[in-house]
Amino acid sequence: MNELCVVDWSISDTQKWLEKEGLSLETRTILCEANRMSGKFFLALTEQDFAMEPISKLILRDRKCLYMAVKLLQRENQNSMISLGLIELPSVSLYTPNNSYLKHNDYSDYCESDFISRPASEDGRSQKLPPEIFKLFISFCYLIFVTWITAFVMVIVHDRVPDMNKYPPLPDIFLDNVPLIPWAFDMCEISGTILLTIWLVVLIFHKHRFILMRRVFALSGTVFLLRCITMLITSLSVPGTHLQCRPKNITSGDVFLFSDIAAKISQAYVIWSGGGLAIQGVRTCGDYMFSGHTVALTMLNFFITEYTPRNLYFLHITTWVMNMFGIFFILAAHEHYSIDVFVAFYITSRLFLYYHTLSNHQGLVQRDYRRTRIWFPLFSFFESSVDGIVPNEYDTPSGIVKNIWCVIKCQLNLLRQFAYDCRNRSSFIGDRDMASTMDFKKTK
């Protein structure tokens, strides 16, 4: 019997196996003689079968022994179960709600259901990476919405900035020991512009550019949304006496309410359209905890180093140097406290690493599916179709031109088909109206 495949077990072979597993004669008689159970039928047993007759009528000891024996038999014969169609290869998404193969909330009366990890290549790379442009559009709208909120909050905190005469700059180890460099903040923004240019070049040539853009939009929007909260709840004093910051005198009359809101929206648009950059003429006060410039520098640096080949050491060193020098220039310009840039760097880097750790190792969230959807709703939605590491694969310039031409060609074909359908529809309507007119004349 041991040399036979379970699928080929006869009823007598199955009886011998049940006897070996320690089941009573009565149980063997019920299962094999009364119900004619052979080996392959034991592979087909499910949790529901154990709650139904005749198994539910067995004594508790035999039910427990049978459950453990069947589970072990099924685990050792996964290939046979696949060939019988009892289970399917887990090629669908972990987050598909009706996926019975990976369902997490099914528990039997005896123990938890078994979990089978999603397949991946030997190096952990994802085997299925659909672009999902609609998710990219949602993440882009999310970022635009958050940046508008950020701009409006910056206007509010600018009006609430503490009086410089009453609240002098707070003690700061770096600012107290490093003299003011007037041009340093412009150098910080130039460093950020260079990093942004490098990132755009990476996006142009990367094969999975839609996934990359979706991730940078989602992560940036989340960090800046958190920044809105920290800016609004606590107003720090101005870090440098060279900054011309004055709190706004807020009137209590309702007459000026509408005009005040309109003025705030107008100021928020100026900040939003200028990207919050000083080189674009945007100057704000009160938005100190935490540094938005540090967030942008750090986010660009981490994305460039993550999605470029590991052997580009010079590029990675350059981006890290620009990130660190950008932070130094922020502090040298006395535009932020040291705690502002430290918190910004920590939050941005941790969120980036946590997000990519979860997306690269989906097995980490497999047992905590419900908790993941509650605490990381954006991650659960945006990464539902990614089952591993996004490989750094790139298109050649000719390949990019070819892809663009294919997209344009497809759109032109759709337009031609639409125009052809419109002509056929109009000619059909015309013929129908003509036939109706002729029938009317014949009737008269």
What is the rounded distance in angstroms from the CA atom of residue 160 to the CA atom of residue 138? 33
What DSSP line would sit under 367-400, residue for residue? Answer: TTHHHHHHH-HHHHHHTTT--SBPP--B--HHHH
CA 308 to mean position of chain CA atoms: 20
Q: Which residues contact 39 (CB under 8 A, 6 or more apart)?
A: 4, 5, 6, 7, 8, 9, 10, 13, 14, 17
Rounded to 10 degrees, what is the CA torsion of 413, 415, 419, 420? Answer: 20
Distance, in Å, from the CA atom of 353 to the CA atom of 346, rounded to the nearest integer, reads 11
The identity of residue 73, as a single letter, is: L
Q: What's the token pair of residue 97? A: 């709600």
Q: Catalytic amino acids?
A: 293, 336, 340
> How far does Cα 183 stand from its chain's mean position?
38
Measured CA to CA, the distance from residue 370 to residue 381 in angstroms comes to 13
What is the C-alpha separation between 44 and 415, in angstroms, rounded? 52
Q: How far apart (Å, rounded) are the C-alpha atoms in residues 307 and 252?
A: 53
Bridge partners (DSSP) listed for residue 107? 112
